[in-house]
Amino acid sequence: MNVAITGAAGRVGREALLALCGHDVTPITHRDHDELEGPTLDVTDREAFAEALAGQDALVHLAGNPSPDADWESVFGPNVGGTYNAYEAARENDLDRVVFASSNHAVQMHNAADPAEPESLREDARTVRPDDPTRPDSYYGVSKVAAESLGDFYADRHGLEVVNLRIGWLMDEDELRETQTGDESEEAKRFARAMWLSPGDCREVVERAVDADLPESPVVAHAVSRNDDRYLSLTETMRKLDYRPRDDSAEAVEA
């Protein structure tokens, strides 16, 4: 299968390249990287996006402004307009599937301990399932909700297979342990433990999002590790994508 990955030079992108090494992968980046052979692309350029996806079967769309602190002007172009361009390019090139990198920030206000500190988690957090209403915690989160809706539209209107993958916080074990020290609030530490996505589990969930036989489209799937503190339900990700996470933040912190 020919698979294009936008944002391939980013943190999740690097794991996606490893996850999909059994496919014919085209890494797409915003600027040149010596170690990556693939086209460069401004995702706000619709015509260039269509050219970049020629001959592809699937797209893993990771590119965009990744900052939860970004203002609306900074996220609208790359995250909303860029995702529209991604879906139009996929439609024009008859791709079979688009895996879109959504975010936990699309639903984080369900359980934020403090609305002014979205990356915090209250102690009595309730489980959030993919079909629960979205409750974004930032302009970044709003942009992800809008982009998920674009995927829903292209799945329903144009028959694309779409996976909206709500990705947690990708960190290695050392980085996770660092979040549990220092002056951070207990609510912030709890958020990090709940949202942890280990590199190995990241590779697993990306591979399954690309390769799994989907029972329906679109699919909304949460992408975190099997953390005891998680509030994002993994039941649907496991059932619909056959995702089998191996890592737990509590075990990693204690290791």
The whole-angstrom separation of Cα 84 and Cα 12 is: 21
User: What is the crossing angle of helices 139-158 and 82-92, to 10°?
Assistant: 20
**What pLDDT does residue 202 have?**
99
**What pLDDT does residue 184 have?**
87
Burial letters 118-156, b for 16+ CB under 10 A, else e: bbbbeeebeebebeeebbbbbbbbbbbbbbbebbeebbe
The whole-angstrom separation of Cα 8 and Cα 153 is: 25
DSSP state of 38: S
The whole-angstrom separation of Cα 171 and Cα 173 is: 6
Catalytic residue among 84, 140, 231, 243: 140
Residue 140 appears among annotated catalytic residues: yes
Residue extents of the structural domains in the chain? 2-254
Residue 233: exposed, middle, or buried by beta-carbon count in 10 A (0-12, 13-18, 19+)?
A: middle
* One-letter amino acid of 90: A
Q: Which of 99, 81, 101, 102 is nearest to 90 (CA)?
A: 99
DSSP three-state, residue 20: coil
The whole-angstrom separation of Cα 222 and Cα 213 is: 17
The whole-angstrom separation of Cα 118 and Cα 48 is: 35
Q: Right CATH number for 2-254 from 3.40.50.720, 2.60.40.10, 3.40.1010.10, 3.40.50.450? A: 3.40.50.720
CB-based contact 58:2 (threshold 8 Å):
yes
Q: Which residues of the chain have pLDDT under 50?
A: none
DSSP-assigned letters across all residues of 106-127:
GTGGGT-SBTTBSS---TTPPP
pLDDT tens, position by position, 215-227: 999 999 999 999 9
HSE-up (13 A, CA, CB side) for residue 23: 23
**What pLDDT does residue 36 have?**
87
pLDDT tens, position by position, 163-192: 999 999 999 999 999 999 978 899 999 999
DSSP state of 242: -
DSSP three-state, residue 202: helix
